[in-house]
Structure 1
Amino acid sequence: MSTDYSGGQDPANTVMVSTMNDLPGFRIERVLGECFGLTVRARNIGSSFGSAMKSIKGGELKGQTKMLVDSRMEAMTRLTEEATRRGGNAVLAMRFETSPGELGTEICAYGTACVATPDNPA
């Protein structure tokens, strides 16, 4: 997983992911349906205590931020793997949903798996 606080898709991934409803320069040949990638993460008690202490004086909770970045990346990887399993090479209208749960934080990446081809193949 990443060692920084940024995000985004792994450049080695061959599935195009867009938050838009289309892919400029590409034609959608087939829609394969909604797909998602899901992960649930929990902080250990030491990290949770440290975050609680940090929240008293204010400031970024870097451990929490890193956990959320890593979780989103894992959910994205699972999303693109599911699109590939269905025969797709793109995911459109991708979104994240994050919800706190009793045991941890649930992160879901979801979108529409499809097959896209370039408008003007070389």
Structure 2
Amino acid sequence: MSSDFSGGQDPSIDVLVSTMNDLPGFRVERVLGEVFGLTVRARNVASSFGSAMKSLKGGELKGQTKMLVDSRLEAMRRLTDEAASRGGNAVLAMRFETSAGELGTEICAYGTACVVSAAT
């Protein structure tokens, strides 16, 4: 599969993100509270028309898939930026929430910003 359709955290970001509630090998030193990253994306008319035509015959809507991957990555970037701005170096219990409306698709990444250190 092309890297255009992959996800995951940008390795250059210094904030560790985990979907788990704890982090094996680390100790939570301080909980900084909830953080989130939000983005809303809209498709252009030509792309939406192409997706509508593709949906009639079936198959993956690659333009829509790419848009959602890009949106999730942007939401993650905003989430980690917010955690870092509060002094955090980790986000625990990270989740995504997605909703689609008439104007676009909203992607929200949220979790708990923490300061963690290696367990001794």
- The match for 2:99 is 99
- The match for 1:81 is 81
- The match for 1:62 is 62
Counterparts of 1:107 and 1:23, CA distance in 2: 25
**Structure 2 residue runs without a partner (length 5+):** none
Q: Secondary structure at the match of 1:4?
A: helix
CA RMSD of aligned residues (A): 1.1
Q: Percent identity?
A: 82
- The CA deviation string for residues 18-56 of structure 1, in whole angstroms up to 9 with x for no partner, is 000001000000000000000000000000000000000
- The match for 1:31 is 31
Q: TM-score, normalised by structure 1?
A: 0.95
Matched positions, count: 119
**Structure 1 residue runs without a partner (length 5+):** none
Counterparts of 2:92 and 2:64, CA distance in 1: 28
- The match for 1:4 is 4
- The CA deviation string for residues 47-78 of structure 1, in whole angstroms up to 9 with x for no partner, is 00000000000000000000000000000000
The structure 1 segments of at least 4 consecutive aligned residues displaced by more than 3 Å after TM superposition are: none
Partner AA of 1:32 in structure 2: L
Counterparts of 1:107 and 1:6, CA distance in 2: 16
